[in-house]
Amino acid sequence: MLTPAPEESNHCEPEPKTDHQPLCHNSHGAESREREQRGGMNEDLGSTRATEPKSKQIKTDRDDVKNLKLLEISHDSQTGEKRFKCDTCGKAFKQKSTLRRHWRVHTGERPYSCITCGKRFSDASFLKSHMTIHTGEKPYSCKICGKDFRFYSPFKVHQRIHTGERLHTCNTCGRQFYSTSHLKIHIRTHTGEKPYVCKTCGRGFTNRSSLRVHERRHTGEKPYPCTTCGKGFCDMPALTKHVRIHTGEKPYTCKICGRAFRRSSGMNRHMKAHTNQKSYFCKTCGKRFRLMPKFKSHMETHSDEVH
């Protein structure tokens, strides 16, 4: 007959053949002393925590959460380079610090605050760039044309205007652009999407800046004045074109005959004289015209015939 193996008793006396519970040597006294020791340790820890600055405790908790996200480490199969992968979106980074900054995109944490307007940012570099709005500082200057920029990203895109570099191509028509934002706006001309709508008249626009300029037509706001004659304009491009009247600048030159123009639209009309292109078509008699003014004059002859 088999008997079950005795369990470990942890220094308890052998179990007597009675209905009473097993007795341990000084069990109650040991438990009391253990509770007292634990209590003392907790009091010591509690007093230590109480003396720590509250901000330090918060930072430690934050770091613990972030460190959990740094556990997933991958290696590039080709270079063998170690990468730190975000377990939320799968994006990988070369440095832990970059992943920590990225993680704030998911948590919504914005620990850096502007002391002027109170706007908050997830990264110190974003706050630094934002501060230039208040100071008026434009630290990025184009060495070719002298134009200044507050932010590095638009400065980098601007340089491509001089180099002619166009990295982003439309898959529909093949047209190339300096930046992804310009390409995205262009694609809407194919899709017909106009997500920015004027609340006054309901007209839609492919980009936010065009909507802003349009809204000024309703409000009458003209924030761009000419320093020579004082005339105001709704946007900077309109002011730039106007200033050429005073300076005499004609930056658009015909490659065939060398004639110069203040505006690109003027040069495009002129180019039709060389190509003999007649874009304006009269639906009444079928006659074609190169220039809009002549086409309009011609259309008036038909209106006179009707009357």
Statement: the pTM of the whole predicted model exceeds 0.75: no
Number of domains, the chain? 2
At 232 the pLDDT is: 93
DSSP label at 239?
H
Which residue type, as a one-letter code, is found at position 146?
G
What's the rounded Cα separation, in Å, for the pair 61 and 109? 14
- 122 lies in which domain range? 80-137
Give the 3-state secondary structure of residue 224. Answer: strand
Return the ∠ at Cα 58 (arms to 56 and 63), rounded to 5°: 95
What's the rounded Cα separation, in Å, for the pair 190 and 167? 20
Long-range contacts from 30-39, C-beta under 8 angstroms, 24+ separation: none
At 220 the pLDDT is: 94
Question: What's the token pair of residue 225?
Answer: 């004045």
Q: Is residue 166 part of a domain?
A: no
Which residue type, as a one-letter code, is found at position 245?
I
Contact of 192 with 204, CB cutoff 8 Å: no
What's the rounded Cα separation, in Å, for the pair 82 and 255? 54
Strand ranges for the chain from DSSP E: 73-75, 82-85, 92-93, 112-113, 120-121, 140-141, 148-149, 168-169, 176-177, 196-197, 204-205, 224-225, 232-233, 252-253, 260-261, 280-281, 288-289
Q: Is residue 259 part of a domain?
A: yes
Q: Is residue 203 part of a domain?
A: no
Q: Is residue 25 part of a domain?
A: no
Q: Is residue 265 part of a domain?
A: yes
Give the CA-trace dihedral at 269, 270, 273, 275, to 10 degrees: -80
Last residue of a domain, which of 137, 171, 204? 137
Question: What's the token pair of residue 277?
Answer: 């292109």
Q: Mean pLDDT, 10 residues at a time, over the chain (307 residues)? A: 40 41 42 45 40 36 43 57 79 82 84 88 84 84 88 86 87 89 91 94 93 94 93 91 93 89 86 78 85 83 67
At 164 the pLDDT is: 84
Q: Is residue 110 part of a domain?
A: yes
Residue 110 belongs to a domain with what CATH number?
Answer: 3.30.160.60
List of residues 6+ apart from 166 with CB closer than 8 A = 160, 176, 177, 178
Q: Is residue 178 part of a domain?
A: no
Last residue of a domain, which of 110, 137, 164? 137
What's the rounded Cα separation, in Å, for the pair 20 and 73? 57
Q: Is residue 107 part of a domain?
A: yes
Last residue of a domain, which of 121, 137, 153? 137
Give the 3-state secondary structure of residue 96. Answer: helix
Q: Which residue, among 114, 73, 74, 69, has the nearest Cα to 88 in the 3D structure? A: 69
At 151 the pLDDT is: 83
Q: What is the C-alpha radius of gyration for the chain, rounded to an integer number of angstroms?
A: 37
